[in-house]
Amino acid sequence: MSQNGKGVNLDKSLGYLLKEASSALRASMEEVLRPLGMSVTRYACLELLAQRPGLSNSELARGAFVTRQSMNVLLQALEREGYVTRPAEAPVGKVLPTRLTTRGRRSLEKATVAVRSVEVRMMVGMTETEQSDAFRILQRMIHSLHDGNAGA
């Protein structure tokens, strides 16, 4: 609590608890991805490209929660290392659609197994109903914050 007594009670703050859970999840993911030569951001980028081939730099940055500049640096490295491919010139407009290579797909498969193990560990002790409830509640919170809804 803050010195003036009007701060947030961290023991009862859902936002603080969510941030702590997010931090613990990221640390656990980094731990299992590191031996594969991968980071959470790299994994997120490859996963997004596997599910939505041809995404632009901006779309990838939004999906991986990083800046466009950071994503551009990452994409250049991934392209240099043979994990993704981008055309030399944009087929339409300025967007250079990025696609996974075979090497990128193989790397992603290993990383997905590692990340899934973290998600399974995170839900140990929860019933299927509790897992479904948690998923639904978190989705509702995200939706409410994005839409600016206070109650519904």
Predicted local distance difference test score (pLDDT) of residue 1: 44
Predicted local distance difference test score (pLDDT) of residue 97: 81
Burial 6-26 (b: 16+ CB within 10 A, else e): eeeeeeeeeeeeeeeeeeeee
Predicted local distance difference test score (pLDDT) of residue 19: 94
Predicted local distance difference test score (pLDDT) of residue 54: 85
Mean pLDDT for all residues in the chain: 90
Predicted local distance difference test score (pLDDT) of residue 88: 76
Q: In which residue ranges of the chain is pLDDT below 50?
A: 1, 152
Predicted local distance difference test score (pLDDT) of residue 142: 93
Q: Tens digits of per-residue pLDDT, 78-101? A: 999 999 998 777 667 667 788 999
> The tokens of 81 are what?
């290392």
